[in-house]
Structure 1
């Protein structure tokens, strides 16, 4: 085997392998970029579509200058460097109040008092209202003494304190398009026949919403929706990339197609192959064409010599090149070997 031919063959294989690796890396990079873009778009669309329930906790401050102290939560006013979130339309709104009250003799003597909650629109109309009774949990004298005895050390160290947290559910309604909730007003009303109001350390209003069942299903399965949405976006982007950006995605294939079209066009226009083609071993492939021309010249000589008025036809052979030439003179041909 010719060493030069073997070297050329191994170099061609190595070059093709390198081009294949570069093409594979290029395709992997393009597909990974497309996958990342599809994932970002899919997750973003699902997050834009999915609604989250509202959970709001705000501290209330009652005005004890009134006979019935009131506190108002405004959903449209910026307070403490944050904007209070409104409840979206269609959500079921739950409102409850947490009282932190001291276990004092005064609060135990007051007993029952009333808490009134009202949901107001922007123009002051009452959307819904409710009234709930409230009081401290009852503990008898022996129970309080035993609890104080066993909890004396934590009480003295300040780990625990003599307080009670009272949870009062107030409102439950569905937010609608008209008469949107703008304010929630809480009022403290003393028990009938008494002017006494409870002592309160702290009052927190908790507003939470529940999603409609359809939106709740979407929120519970949001990651599944994100995967399927990303897959659909990936297929759509891949189809667009193949249809409209094929030259960027497959540059080598486009080069091969253009070369094939150029060769096919030249063949259709009648352009023949080159006269001399030199192969890897140095053999001139035009020898086959020369032999074919010689046989063709012999057949023409035999045909014209039998059935026509041909008088002379000369065929000469060039000793240097080995080619056969034919000279035509007038209406006659002479053949010479």
Structure 2
């Protein structure tokens, strides 16, 4: 019956220890995951502050046909529909292009060439850079147009396809300087010399792209690698002080055990240095000293090997006092034997 009770108690103790170990492991994993999440957020934020993105703007242009030469201006600093258009950063190479959607009509074919002028303006209205390019519809002969119309007659009638031409034109390419900075871009339409007529336009889109300097482009191309390494460095930098200064937060049970072990170590050192405090008149010598040292080393091994509960601490304290009493009595007996001799 006693054996059964002992085995049951052992099973319960092992189960409790396993559950405590599982809870401790889950707690440590939670703390480490929390530190990892914080480090990832910090690492990604730092890299995003460092990495520059190229500017890409695509806006519709609406020309003012009330003047002799219609023009349209795109301001790179305005706010429209909650969208803030930012200017091109210093050092970027700015590319300005224009996309025309024009009807493939007899009027546009008769006009032929016309001129498109692009200008980048500063905040004071000064021209920073200027470029002028001619443009016209793609030529198609009358038989080709007739065959194309015949083949695409059904899509044309159903509205699936329309008689338009898209003309993509590269206008400006310049490097943004510190001063003066680009504030807006102006596009002007100028008719061919000798005629006052301008082409018909369905839609005009201005496309502004910037190219990063090679150093910034290299950083941007490797930004995912920088995300990983910066997050790893931040994780190490957060984990080292956490383990050094907040060990009780990471391992609360181990800190309690270490305090118990340190208390017993201090008590053993006190016994060794001040034997009179515990009832020993003089320091033990020869065989008694060896036995005393052996018992002390055994107690140290037991304390370092496994944790102690309050009951075990009390029993160990009692055994220590008994051992010390035995050592004291042995020392006293040895002294009396020496006196008798």
TM-score range, shorter chain: 0.7 to 0.9
Q: List alignment gaps of at least 5 residues for structure 2.
A: 280-311
- 1:67 is displaced (CA, Å) by 1.0
Aligned to 2:15: 14
Asked if 1:86 corresponds to 2:87, the answer is yes
Cα displacement string for residues 135-190 of structure 1 (whole angstroms, at most 9, x for unaligned residues): 01111111111111111111111111111111111000111221111010111111
**Distance between the aligned counterparts of 2:150 and 2:334, measured in 1?**
136
Distance across 1 between alignment mates of 2:155 and 2:263: 95
- CA distance in 2 between partners of 1:196 and 1:294 (Å): 126
SS of corresponding position for 2:128:
strand
Give the aligned CA root-mean-square deviation in angstroms: 3.0
TM-score of the two chains, using structure 1 as the length reference: 0.80
Based on CA coordinates, which of the two structures has the bigger radius of gyration? Answer: 1
Residues 216-295 of structure 1 mapped to structure 2, 5 A cutoff: 216-267=217-268, 268=270, 270=275, 271-272=277-278, 293=329
Secondary structure at 1:204's aligned position in 2? strand
Unaligned runs of 5+ in 1: 307-337
Equivalenced residue count is: 299
Deviation at 1:257, TM superposition (A): 2.6
Q: Work out the CA distance in 1 between the residues paired with 2:327 and 2:88.
A: 96
| C-alpha displacement of 1:265 | 3.7
CA distance in 2, matches of 1:224, 1:138: 50
Structure 2 counterpart of 1:153: 154
Corresponding residue number in structure 2 for 1:311: none
Deviation of 1:220 (Å) = 1.4
Equivalent residue for 1:42? 43
CA offsets 1:50-92 (integer angstroms, 9 cap, x no match): 2211111111111111111111111122234422232122111
Q: Which residue number corresponds to residue 32 of structure 2?
A: 31
SS at match of 1:122: coil
Taking a change above 3 Å as real, the CA distance of residues 177 and 153 of structure 1, as seen in their structure-2 partners, is same
Q: Distance in 2 between matches of 1:222 and 1:264?
A: 53
8 Å Cα contact 2:278-2:324 kept in structure 1: no
Cα distance between partner residues in 2 of 1:204 and 1:302: 113
- 1:264 deviates by 3.7
Equivalent residues of 2:120, 2:185 under 8 A apart: yes
